Structure 1
Amino acid sequence: MEDWTSNPMNAVTVVLALLVIILFIWIAVVGGRLKKLRKQYTAVMGNTGLTNLEDVIVELKNDIAEQQQVHKQLKSQLEQVSTTLSKQKGKVGVLRYNAFAEQGSDLSFSIAIINDEKDGAVFSGIHSRENTYVYAKPLEKGQSAYPLTPEELKVILEAK
C-alpha cells in the first residue's frame, strides 16, 4: 500500500479535491445569498416595469413631490373650509314665552341664528289676541343697532 504523502501527485490531487469541495461549499453559500438578494430586489422593484434601481428612485421622488403638492392643496382647502364654516350662521337658539302675562299662553317666540363671532340675526314674534308681529334684528358680535329684549338676549346666549 502506497502512502498518499509519498507520491507528490497524490498530495496535489488530495489538495485539489479539498479545494474543489471548499469552492462548491462557497458557491452554495454565495448562491443562497444571491437568491435572497434577488428576492429583495424583486420586492423593491415590484411591478414598476423598470429594471433600473435609479429609475425607481427617480419615480418615487416624483411621486413624493406630487403627493406633497396635493397635500398643500388639501391643506389650503381645509383652511378655507374652516374659515367659511366659522362664518356660517349655524348656531340657533329658540325661546317661546308669553309676551302678555294676563292673557294667552307661550305663543310668542324669539329665535337667534348666529355664527361663532355672534354675527347673524334674531327674530321675534309677538303674539296678541288679534295679531302677531314679527321683528328681525341684525346682529354683529352679539349686539344690534336696535334695542334687544331680555328674551332676545337670552336666545343669543343660548345659541352660542
Structure 2
Amino acid sequence: MSPAEVAQIIAIAAAAIAAGAVALLIIVFRRMQQLQHDQKLILGPKGVSSDIIAYVGGLSGRIDRLRDDIETLSLEARDHEVRIDGCVSRIGMVRFDAYHDLGGRQSTAIGLLNAKDDGIVVTTVVSRDFSRMYVKVIKEGQSDVPLAPEEEEALEQARARGNAPFTLRPRPAPADKEAVEEAAATPLVDSVDEERLSLERENRRRRRQGLPPLDVLPARDDLGWPDLDSGRSYEELEPLEPLEPLQADEGYSMQPAVGGNGARESNPTRRRDEEPDPFDEL
C-alpha cells in the first residue's frame, strides 16, 4: 500500500471521528439546555448562577415554617370545632292544636340541640283565653322533666340533624269510609264533652283568683250560683224557707224605766252571766 493511500485512510478516519465528536457535542449541548431549563423551573430565574446546596437549605427552612403554620391552623381548627359543637346546630319543630276548640296549629314545640345533644325544648301552648310558654332543659338527650309527645317528636327531628321536615300535626281524621259516614252522622254537639269544658273554665277562673284547681266539677250550689241548667223555670223552683222573726236578746231587759218626772225611759240593762268575771280579781 502506497503512502498516499495510507494518508487517505487516515484522513477519512479523522473526518469520521470529527463528525462523531461534533454530533456528541451537539447532544451534550442539547442536554445542558434541558437541564438549565429544568433548573430554572425549580430554582427560579437566578437558579443557574446560585448555589443549589444553599437553595436546598433555604427550602428546608421554608418547609419547617410551613409545618409550624399547619400545626397552628390545626389547633385553631380544633378549637373552632369544639366551639361549634357547643352551638345550636339542630332544630326540630312541631305545630299542633293544644285544644280542640282552637285551630290553625298555633301551638308549637321547638327542639334546639347542639352536637352533644344538649339544649332546650321551648313549648308554646295557645288557647282562646291565654298563652303559655314552657322551657325544658335537655342534657345528653335526656330531659329533667317528662316530655309531651309533641316535644319528643321535636327532639327526634333535632337529633336527625335537621334532615327531617318540620311537622304539622293534623287533627285525627277517620281512616275509612264507614268512619267518615259515622262522623258525618254524629252531631257535633254530642262529640263535645261539656263537663270537661265546664271543668276547664272553672279551673281557669280559680287560677285567676289564686285558688287550687279542681279534679272533678262539683255541684253548682257548691260553686256559689244556682243550677240554671236544670231546665226548670223560676216558678218551679222550691221557695226559700222564711226567716225566723227577730227575737229580743234575753240578756237585755226591754221594760221601760220610770224617770223622776214620771216619764218612761228606755233603759235596757244587760244581765250578768252567772259565771264569775275573771277581771274582777284584778
Measured against the shorter chain, the TM-score band is 0.7 to 0.9
Residue 151 of structure 1 pairs with residue 156 of structure 2: no
The residue type equivalent to 1:41 in the other structure is Q
In the alignment, structure 1 segments of 5+ residues that lack a partner are: none
What secondary structure sits across from 1:129 in the alignment?
coil
Distance 1:88 1:11, change over 3 A: same
TM-aligned CA distance change 1:145 to 1:57, over 3 Å:
same
The count of residues paired between Structure 1 and Structure 2 equals: 155
Work out the CA distance in 2 between the residues paired with 1:48 and 1:115.
55
The residue aligned with 1:37 is 35
Aligned-residue offset at 1:86: 2.2
2:11 counterpart residue number = 14
- Identical-pair percentage: 20
Alpha-carbon spacing, 1:77–1:5, altered in 2? closer, same or farther (3 Å): same
Compute the TM-score of the two structures, normalised by the length of structure 1.
0.79
C-alpha offsets along residues 82-134 of structure 1, whole Å, 9 cap, x if unaligned?
22222211211111111122x11122111111112221111111112111011
| Residue pair 1:97, 1:107 contacting (<8 A) in 2 also | yes
Pick closer, same or farther for the CA change 1:48–1:22 going to 2, 3 Å. closer
Whose RCO is larger (CA < 8 A, sep 6+)? 1
The code of the aligned residue for 1:40 comes to: D
Q: Distance in 2 between matches of 1:110 and 1:58?
A: 64
Equivalent-residue separation in structure 1 for 2:20 and 2:45 (angstroms)? 38
CA–CA distance in structure 1, aligned partners of residues 10 and 152 of structure 2: 110
Specify every segment of 5 or more residues in structure 2 that has no aligned partner in the other structure, as ranges. 160-282
Alpha-carbon spacing, 1:134–1:46, altered in 2? closer, same or farther (3 Å):
same
Tell me the C-alpha RMSD between the 2 structures: 2.6
The structural deviation recorded for 1:34 is: 2.7
Q: What amino acid is the match of 2:137?
A: P
Structure possessing the higher radius of gyration over alpha carbons = 2
Q: Is the 8 A contact 2:111 2:151 kept in 1?
A: yes
2:45 match? 47
**1:60 is matched with which residue?**
59
Higher helix share: 1
Q: What's 2:76 paired with?
A: 77
More strand, by proportion? 1
Going from structure 1 to structure 2, the CA distance change for 1:4 and 1:68 (only over 3 Å counts) comes to same
**If the length of structure 2 is used for normalisation, what is the TM-score?**
0.48
